[in-house]
């Protein structure tokens, strides 16, 4: 591993675990400051840390989550895919993302204040920014939207611990999702262009069974994604 790779991995680890450290220490004031540091968020999204940050924030007990933390969590849950899709996301791009949040929420108010201050050269002014294009008037009822299939879903199954969702689709794939943050954990491919029409987990959550349109039942290793046996 060369020096550049080591530096990159070091930066990734620092970004990846900073939120986790603050959550573990219950340092909510510092956590609030970090979650509204647009440069930090741009770096975190660029390094693919957003799903991990969402997971870490969910580990903070609800009674200890302040409104700024709760709103930041909702913001990341709703807009993580859009942020990750930006080619060159920077602090300004994250600020614009905040302006897409519902009016009255902390992300919107802080983004509005930061934009006004920047536009006025640091001096207070009287004008108010409106929402950015693509803004929402309220948070969506759905906490997560899982996107990854190229065809319509045909079946769903929750893992025994409730942390993983398996979804079958007409695109001949079964995708495993982390339901805390929407992260795609893996994909299983049903052979011969067939598709799964029913799914069931083993009691220990280590195996997934699929009933497929080629009249086979397949047993999948959830960790490796390999098909261990096909029953007919």
Using one digit for the tens of pLDDT, what is the confidence trace for 165-217?
999 888 888 889 988 778 888 888 876 667 888 999 999 999 999 888 888 88
Sheet architecture: strand order including 217-221: 196-201, 207-212, 217-221, 227-231
Distance CA 210, CA 194 (A): 11
Question: Predicted confidence band at 218 (pLDDT cuts at 50, 70, 90)?
Answer: confident
> Start-end ranges of CATH 2.40.10.480 in the chain?
153-231
Question: What pTM was computed for the model?
Answer: 0.65
> Start-end ranges of CATH 1.25.40 in the chain?
3-119
17/165: higher pLDDT: 165
Topology of the domain covering 153-231: Thrombin, subunit H (2.40.10)
Q: Calculate the alpha carbon distances from 127 to 106, 110, 117, 136, 138 in Å.
A: 19, 15, 11, 21, 23
Topology of the domain covering 3-119: 1.25.40
Beta carbons of 187 and 174 less than 8 angstroms apart: yes
């Amino acid at each position: 591993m060369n020096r550049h790779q080591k530096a990159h991995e070091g930066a990734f680890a620092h970004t990846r675990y900073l939120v986790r450290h603050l959550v573990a220490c219950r340092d909510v004031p510092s956590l609030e400051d970090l979650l509204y540091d647009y440069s930090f968020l741009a770096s975190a999204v660029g390094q693919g840390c957003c799903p991990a940050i969402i997971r870490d924030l969910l580990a903070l007990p609800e009674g200890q989550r302040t409104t700024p933390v709760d709103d930041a969590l909702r913001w990341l849950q709703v807009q993580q895919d859009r942020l990750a899709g930006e080619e060159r996301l920077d602090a300004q791009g994250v600020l614009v993302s905040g302006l897409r949040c519902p009016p009255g929420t902390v992300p919107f108010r802080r983004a509005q204040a930061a934009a006004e201050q920047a536009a006025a050269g640091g001096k207070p002014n009287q004008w108010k920014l409106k929402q950015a294009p693509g803004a929402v008037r309220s948070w969506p009822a759905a906490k997560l939207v899982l996107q990854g299939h190229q065809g319509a879903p045909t079946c769903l199954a929750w893992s025994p611990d409730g942390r993983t969702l398996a979804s079958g689709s007409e695109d001949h794939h079964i995708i495993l999702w982390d339901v805390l943050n929407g992260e795609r954990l893996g994909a299983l491919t049903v052979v011969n262009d067939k598709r799964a029409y029913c799914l069931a987990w083993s009691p220990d959550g280590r195996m997934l069974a699929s009933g497929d349109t080629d009249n086979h039942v397949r047993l999948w290793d959830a960790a490796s994604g390999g098909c261990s046996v096909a029953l007919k």
